[in-house]
């Protein structure tokens, strides 16, 4: 079950039974798209793990990517402070927008320097939590996550074997 966190007020739906849902890629932090959900769409997203909206144009439940295959894999949902908007953290299987671009704002969904630091922070936190103090695989792992335009600014020396 995908977790749904309320950060403030309980969820409030509009008169049409819908609540706006902003989709963000948890890896790159790019904002991918905006959709609308009713209670059933929220329940389906949480139980199936596939982001499902209520499409106002189709006037029915709509699993994102049901035709294109470009589904969104939900990780977490959060209500906002007022409970009148949802943030859906989800990893895209392909370009999110029906026009073929990665996001509905015609942006490429690429790792940024900020997302690299977020990844670094998560790696360090998970290693502290798991008590894993081996660092041999970290440089190559991190260099694979570093945005290409920043590669020239870093050197990743091999870790000597002890
Ligand atoms: Zn779009």
Task: List pLDDT tens digits, range 59-109.
Answer: 999 999 999 999 999 999 999 999 999 999 999 999 999 999 999 999 888
Q: What angle do CA 135, 137, 138 make, to 5 degrees?
A: 65
pTM of the model: 0.76
Ligand 1 centroid – CA 137 distance (Å): 38
Which 3 state secondary structure label does DSSP give 149? helix
Q: Is 101 a member of any domain?
A: no
Ligand 1 centroid – CA 96 distance (Å): 7
What domain range includes position 147?
A: 113-153
Q: Is 59 a member of any domain?
A: yes
Ligand 1 centroid – CA 106 distance (Å): 8
Q: Is 107 a member of any domain?
A: no
| pLDDT surpasses 80 at 153 | no
**Residues 77, 143 within the same domain:** no
State the total domains in the chain.
2
Question: Residue 112's pLDDT is what?
Answer: 75
Dihedral sign for Cα 143, 145, 146, 149, please.
Answer: positive
Ligand 1 centroid – CA 134 distance (Å): 43
Ligand 1 centroid – CA 64 distance (Å): 11
């Amino acid at each position: 079950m995908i977790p749904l966190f309320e950060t403030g007020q309980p969820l409030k739906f509009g008169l049409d039974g819908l609540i706006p849902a902003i989709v963000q890629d948890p890896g790159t932090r790019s904002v991918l798209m905006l959709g609308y959900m009713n209670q059933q769409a929220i329940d389906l997203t949480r139980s199936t793990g596939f982001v499902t909206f209520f499409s106002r144009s189709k006037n029915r439940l709509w699993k994102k990517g049901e035709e294109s295959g470009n589904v969104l894999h939900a990780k977490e949902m959060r209500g906002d402070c007022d409970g009148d908007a949802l943030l859906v953290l989800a990893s895209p299987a392909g370009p999110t927008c029906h026009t073929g671009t990665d996001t509905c704002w015609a942006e490429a969904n690429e790792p940024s320097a900020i997302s690299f630091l977020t990844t670094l922070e998560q790696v360090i936190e998970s290693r502290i939590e798991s008590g894993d103090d081996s660092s041999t695989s970290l440089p190559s792992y991190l260099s694979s996550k570093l945005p290409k335009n920043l590669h020239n600014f870093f050197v990743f020396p091999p870790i000597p074997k002890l």
